[in-house]
Amino acid sequence: MSQQNKPIRTGVVLGRVRPDSLAARAGLQEGDIIIRLNDKAIHNIDNLLTGLQAVASLKVENPDLTFWRDDRKIEGHLPVQFS
């Protein structure tokens, strides 16, 4: 597919991912585009921060996470545990 025919992806594009981070444990890599967290659409950084705050305040363990990597849509989980 040529560059001009690629679909536009909305979400939050990840920059550097530290090896010891929650993002790294979730399998995220630099350049991935987060599009859903805990069944909520992520369109911008504000959506992502709100979603992460909701996960923490509601103590949602292993919330669903959907992201694009290259031309693949990947579904997984954010490895969050509350004791």
Query: Going residue by residue through the chain (83 aa), what tens digit of pLDDT does each one get?
Result: 445 666 667 899 999 999 999 999 999 999 999 999 999 999 999 999 999 999 999 999 999 999 999 999 999 999 998 87
Residue 81 DSSP class = -
How many structural domains does the chain have? 1
CATH number, position 29? 2.30.42.10
In a domain, 67, yes or no: yes
User: What's residue 67's pLDDT?
Assistant: 97
In a domain, 11, yes or no: yes
The DSSP H or E segment spanning 46 is helix 45-58
User: What's residue 10's pLDDT?
Assistant: 87
Residue type present at position 8: I
In a domain, 82, yes or no: no
Residue type present at position 68: W
Q: Which domain holds residue 14?
A: 3-77
User: What's residue 49's pLDDT?
Assistant: 96
**Can you give the three-state secondary structure of 52-74, one letter per residue?**
HHHHHHHCCCCCEEEEEECCEEE
